[in-house]
Structure 1
């Protein structure tokens, strides 16, 4: 028997486990007419997602303020599969960024405004992350009743790639360097007239979250990892010249002033984040 800590809806609840752990459980009608302190039969649970850290629990409550529970549980399932089946070690902030992305894509799909992903194909360098992304795509289409194209997997894979790092309990962020990187980036963006606004707020915040974890990612990066192929970088430069210019300015300043050994991979991530911020259309595609 599992004791309910909070009913999230008729089919989803937060439950207390042993050793002061909690988990999200999902099953048809498992929380119907139940309340905090009531029990749920373990045999009625169809899916269970552990909340291993305090950060993951805080993320859950943060997400539930703005994102439907079905989208949140779908995201938790995706991350759980990525960790267990594909052994992808991601930091906890992916719960927020991926949930936000899935919800945004879901709304655009329902409104008929969804567009195929313009993210470059990096599967040759990130086979595991792409395999997890294609599984995630099947989970999303099944759980949320949508029909995203296969190209959506590139967006999902990028979230896994961006969030690769150590678990929350292992992270030791260099807070001073975090602040320095964020200040530097915001100053460059400001010079190019890019400020946070209502229209770009989600993408701006996502970029800032990426930067918060940049320090940790660089400190624990695999020096032997495959670098993004020059062909892909050249394609981005040709398709998104303004984004590439701004991203390169950020990349060069961080490399010069903070991390001389920063990988070229980060330049690509910066281009993609900035392209979303300024919604620059690919040359030749209108």
Structure 2
């Protein structure tokens, strides 16, 4: 029997395991009319997501403050599939960034403002990440009742490409460095007349979340290893020249002032965030 640490909803609970570990237990009605300290039979549990580290537990509590539990457990199920079925190693921050993305996409879909992904298709170069993303769409449809277009797989795949790596120690965030990066980026955005507003607040905040975990990603991945094929960045530059120019300015300033060995991959992520933030349309669409 597993002891409940915290009720998340009728179908999910945080439970104690052996060796002082905790996990999210998910199953139909497993926490109904239960309370903290009650027990759950393992036979009633459909999914069990183990929280191996202090960082993973901290991430969960952070998510529960900002994102509905159904979205959180859906994200954990997707990442579990990536790790268990596809043996993909990912850094812990993907739990936050992917949950945030799915929740944002879910809200836009529900209120009729969802737009198809503008990210180039690179499933040939990253078949594993795309296979995970396609399965993620099925999990989202099953758990959240939302059927995203196939193009959403490109967004989800990019999250896994972005977070690929193996965490061999607890994350150690450098708050001072994070603040420096945030200030640097905001100065560049200000020079281009880009400020947080009601209309762009969601994309602006997501860019700030990306920057929050940039330091950790740079510390735990090989800065010389470029995962994104150059053609993807070239295509984005051709389609979104203004976004590319602003992203390049941000990339070059961070590289010059803080991280000289920063991977070129980061420039691609900056382009995508800026494109969403300023809502730049593809060049070929403008010419039609």
Whether TM-score is above 0.5 comes out as yes
Distance 1:175 1:13, change over 3 A: closer
Shift of 1:48: 0.8
Q: 1:248 maps to which residue? A: 248
1:257 corresponds to which residue?
257
1:28-177 correspondence runs (5 A): 28-167=28-167, 169-173=169-173, 177=177
Partner of 1:18: 18
Q: Do the aligned residues in 2 keep the contact of 1:129 with 1:160 (CA within 8 Å)?
A: yes
Count of residues in correspondence between the two structures = 286
User: 1:268–1:256: structure 2 CA closer, same or farther, 3 Å change rule?
Assistant: same
Q: Is the 8 A contact 2:22 2:52 kept in 1?
A: yes
- Measured at CA, do residues 53 and 127 of structure 1 come closer, stay the same or move farther in structure 2, by a change above 3 Å? same
CA RMSD, 1 decimal: 2.3
Higher mean C-alpha displacement, 123-132 vs 165-174: 165-174
How far apart in 1 are the matches of 2:153 and 2:30? 31
Q: Secondary structure, in 3 states, of the residue corresponding to 1:49? A: strand
Contact 1:218 1:262 in 2 (8 A): yes
Equivalents in 2 of 1:94, 1:271: separation in Å? 19
235 and 204 in structure 1: CA distance in 2 versus 1, 3 angstrom threshold: same
Three-state SS of the structure 2 residue aligned to 1:4 is: strand
> Residue 225 and residue 28 in structure 1: after superposition, are their counterparts in 2 closer, same or farther (change >3 A)?
same
TM-score (norm. length: structure 2): 0.89
Q: CA deviation at 1:224?
A: 6.6
Name 2:5's counterpart in structure 1.
5
- Distance of 1:10 and 1:229 partners within structure 2: 44
**Contact 1:75–1:95 (8 Å) recurs in 2:** yes
Q: How big is the shift at 1:174?
A: 5.3
Q: Which runs of 5+ in 1 are unaligned?
A: none
Q: How big is each residue's C-alpha offset from its partner over 1:159-186, in whole Å with a ceiling of 9 and x where there is no partner?
A: 1122233427344455554444333222
Residues 5/27 of structure 1: CA separation in 2 closer, same or farther (3 Å cut) = same
8 A Cα contact 1:17 1:23, kept in partner: yes
The SS at the match of 1:135 is: helix
The answer to which of 241-250 and 221-230 deviates more is 221-230
- Helix, strand or coil for the counterpart of 2:283? coil
- Checking the alignment, whether the CA contact within 8 Å between 2:25 and 2:47 is kept in structure 1 is yes
CA distances 1:103-160 after superposition (whole Å, capped 9, x unpaired)? 2222222333322211122323333222221221221122222221221111001111
Kindly indicate whether the alpha-carbon contact (under 8 Å) linking 1:227 and 1:263 is maintained by their aligned counterparts in 2.
no
| Preserved CA contact (<8 Å) 1:133 1:154 | yes
Please give the alpha-carbon distance, in whole angstroms, between the structure 1 residues aligned to 2:254 and 2:191.
16
Q: Distance in 1 between matches of 2:203 and 2:168?
A: 23
Shift of 1:33: 1.0
Q: Sort the Cα spacing of 1:244 and 1:145 in 2 relative to 1 into closer, same or farther, 3 A.
A: same
Distance apart, 1:220 and its partner CA: 4.1
Q: For structure 2, which runs of at least 5 residues remain unmatched after alignment?
A: none
Distance 1:186 1:248 in 2: 14
Q: Structure 1 residue 248: deviation in Å?
A: 0.9
